[in-house]
Amino acid sequence: MADIDSAIETAPSTDALPFTLRPLTPTIGAELLDIDLGAPDIGDAIPAIRQALLDHRVIFFRDQHITQEQHLAFARMFGELEIHPATPKDQENPEVLRIAHGPKSKGQENNWHSDVTWREEPSLGSILRAIEVPDVGGDTLFSDMHAAFMGLSDKMREFVVGLTAVHDIARVFARRLGKAPEELHDKYPPVEHPVIRTHPETGEPGIYVNNGFTSHIKGLSSEESSDLLRHLYAQAANPEYQCRFKWEAGSIAFWDNRACQHNAVSDYFPQVRIMERATIKGDRPYYRPDAE
């Protein structure tokens, strides 16, 4: 984690924040309360919200009964939005990815992953809004990938920082979209990203491989790659790196895909869970040793 003393020196006074900040754990996650994301002057709060995201990896808002257009307007304050290939072409707002499950569709997002790492420039962050949620279940877990990296042994950290991994959209979306891998690869060919990524704003290193989209590590045998990836994937499951969020209708989660992974628990079938996501475009991942 970043040096505590320097973080205290640079952090804004909590008295000056345009919201009440309540950390969920010492490592990751914070609720931002007493703020209306649909307010006309919400733009004034964006710098403080962005800093909270950098400090806590994922931030949560309650009782945000905003429209889809307000959701998108808020997301655009952090950057250009992307359109996901799973979004129907005739959808009114193509920047919204609707994730709906119920009696005929069991949740499939219940593995540790960071969104769209199969892109050359994966997303900065995702803003997910709860439309309808089950009374019990359907929580989302988040795991701090910087803490996970720092939890590795010294020798393992030295080994993995020089490695490159391949990420492939077809691992997940070939089946979901009913397309052959080759068809998806025509538009989204497999891409290479560093196994350990330097966060472009904080300079912190973090694990940047995930069970959803990473296919293998370059330069290693298949067995070596599988063993190492299995070890790195397992770090996300450490409770000491995690927070857990219980959704309510009107709840919003905003997570930094460069710094954390998430896992949507699929324990609510056949109940209904409907969410809408806006995803902010990011930049090409890199590793820079001097950033540490």
- For residues 260 and 258, give the distance between their C-alpha atoms in angstroms, rounded to a whole number: 6
Which string of DSSP letters, residue by residue, matches 33-87? ES--TTSTTGGGGHHHHHHHHHHHSEEEE-S----HHHHHHHHHTTSPBP--TTS
Of the candidates 71, 115, 146, 256, the residue annotated as catalytic is 115
Of the candidates 113, 119, 216, 258, the residue annotated as catalytic is 113
Let me know if 277 is a catalytic residue: yes
Q: 277, 125, 279: which is closest to 201 by C-alpha?
A: 125
For the chain, give percent helix, strand, coil, nearest 5: 30, 25, 45
Let me know if 113 is a catalytic residue: yes
- For residues 80 and 57, give the distance between their C-alpha atoms in angstroms, rounded to a whole number: 20
Look up residue 128 and give its two tokens.
Answer: 């997910």
Of the candidates 56, 71, 262, 273, the residue annotated as catalytic is 262
The verdict on whether omega for the bond into residue 270 sits within 30 degrees of 0, i.e. cis, is: yes
Residues identified as active-site = 113, 115, 262, 277
